[in-house]
Amino acid sequence: MTRINFNRVLMGGLLAGLILSIGDAILNQPVLGEQWKAAMEASGMTGPDSSAITWFIIMDFIVGVAMVWLYVAIRPRFGAGARTAVVTGLIVWFFAWFWNNGALMAMETFPTKLLMTKIIWGFFQFPLAATAGAWLYREE
């Protein structure tokens, strides 16, 4: 078994994190911005401040690196390539995105339409980010 090229995991993970962060910015401002604002006001909350947004961006990059590491970890069993990257993205989507937003939906924390839009968006966003990150990974 070959060793993991952690420099490439980091490079791919940063690319994946960038894609996640850009996707989140598009989703939460132009796509859902007004819905978020209305949902926050209805809940008596204010929108996220700059420190919260900074934290969300940092988390996107951490998830991106973890996603590429997971891709590298399952490559020996599933094979290298886009199919494995998509599987990786869907695994991370399920545990990081679907599970969380599904729980918020079950608790009726935010409107179902808002959270379903996030879930569907992430279904495409995570495999795309994983595929881009995996594309940069090389063993040597």
Distance CA 13, CA 64 (A): 4
In a domain, 90, yes or no: yes
Separation of alpha carbons 119 and 93, rounded Å = 9
Task: Tell me whether residue 72 is in a domain.
Answer: yes
In a domain, 22, yes or no: yes
| pTM attached to this predicted model | 0.91
Q: What is residue 43's predicted lDDT score, i.e. its pLDDT? A: 87
Q: What per-residue confidence (pLDDT) applies to 49?
A: 85
Under a CB-based contact definition with an 8 Å cutoff, are residues 48 and 39 in contact? no
For range 72-93, the mean pLDDT: 97
Q: Report if residue 53 sits inside a domain.
A: yes
Is there a domain that residue 94 lies in?
Answer: yes
Structural domain contains residue 20: yes
**pLDDT recorded at residue 1:** 64
Better-scored residue on pLDDT, 73 or 140: 73
With contact defined as beta carbons under 8 Å apart, do 129 and 19 qualify? yes
C-alpha dihedral, 29 to 30 to 35 to 41, nearest 10°: 40
Q: How many domains does the chain have?
A: 1
What residues make up the domain containing 117? Answer: 6-37+49-136
**Band of pLDDT at residue 124, cut at 50, 70 and 90:** very high
Q: Are 1 and 80 in contact (CB under 8 A)?
A: no
Residue 86 lies in a domain: yes
Other beta carbons within 10 Å of 106: 10
- Indicate the average pLDDT of the chain: 94
Q: How far apart are the C-alpha atoms of 118 and 97, rounded to whole Å? A: 8
Residue 97's pLDDT is 94
pLDDT digits (tens, 9 = 90+) for 21-68: 999 999 999 999 999 999 989 988 887 888 999 999 999 999 999 999
The pLDDT of residue 113 is 95
For position 61, what pLDDT does the model report? 98
Any domain includes 118: yes
Rounded CA-CA distance 139/120 in Å is 33
The pLDDT value recorded for residue 112 is 95
Residue 136: what pLDDT? 95
